[in-house]
Amino acid sequence: MSSANVTLVKSLYDAFKRGDIAPIIAVLGRNVDWRVNGRVKDYPCFGTWTGPADVTRFFGLVAENEQASDFSPREFLSAGDKVFVTGHYTWKILKTGRAVDSDWIHVFTLDDGKVTSFREFNDTAQFAEAYRG
């Protein structure tokens, strides 16, 4: 299962980089718990989204608020039902034109080929500051 999970997660990054959100939504569990660590008052893409329809809304917020200039997953590590991915990205925050440059870690939990939970951790202070302008 572990290597299948890593293959699946890698395919989601490839889809995201092509701007193809549908394959991501298609592999989410019905009650997927999707969280970007941080306070929603700091940045619109921080918070919790539940279920595939809500996660579609999350990707809408991403497109509305930020533009990626670099999005680089670096390491994929499987542990039990989880896949941990470390990486780096740079964004332009569309509201202010300011840049964010951050390392991140993503944690996927999978069950029978479906993503049941996603966690992102990043340098929230940079997003908050760039959004305030």
Partner 1 sequence: MSKVNLELVQNLYDAFKRGDIATIIAALTPDVHWQVHGRASDFPTIGQWSGPHGAQEFFRRVDESLEVAEFTPHQLHASGDKVFVMGHYRWKVRRSGKPAAAEWCHAFTIRGGKVAVFREFTDTAAFADAYRG
Residues forming contacts to partner 1 in the complex (CB under 8 A) are 37-39, 42, 77-80, 82, 84, 86, 102-105, 107, 119, 121-129
The Cβ of residue 20 has, within 10 Å, a number of other Cβ atoms equal to 11
Q: How far is the CB of 19 from partner 1 (least distance, A)?
A: 26
Would you say 21 and 103 are in contact if contact means Cβ atoms under 8 Å apart?
A: no
If the CB atoms of residues 53 and 77 are measured against partner 1, the closer one turns out to be 77
If the CB atoms of residues 13 and 84 are measured against partner 1, the closer one turns out to be 84
Any residues with CB less than 8 A from the CB of 56 and at least 6 apart, and which? 21, 25
If the CB atoms of residues 60 and 80 are measured against partner 1, the closer one turns out to be 80
Q: How far is the CB of 18 from partner 1 (least distance, A)?
A: 27
Q: How far is the CB of 94 from partner 1 (least distance, A)?
A: 19
Q: How far is the CB of 22 from partner 1 (least distance, A)?
A: 28
Cα distances (angstroms) measured from residue 101 to each of 25, 64, 91, 119:
26, 18, 7, 19
CA 115 and chain centroid, separation: 12
**Upper half-sphere CA count for residue 120 (Cβ side, 13 Å):** 21
If the CB atoms of residues 25 and 128 are measured against partner 1, the closer one turns out to be 128
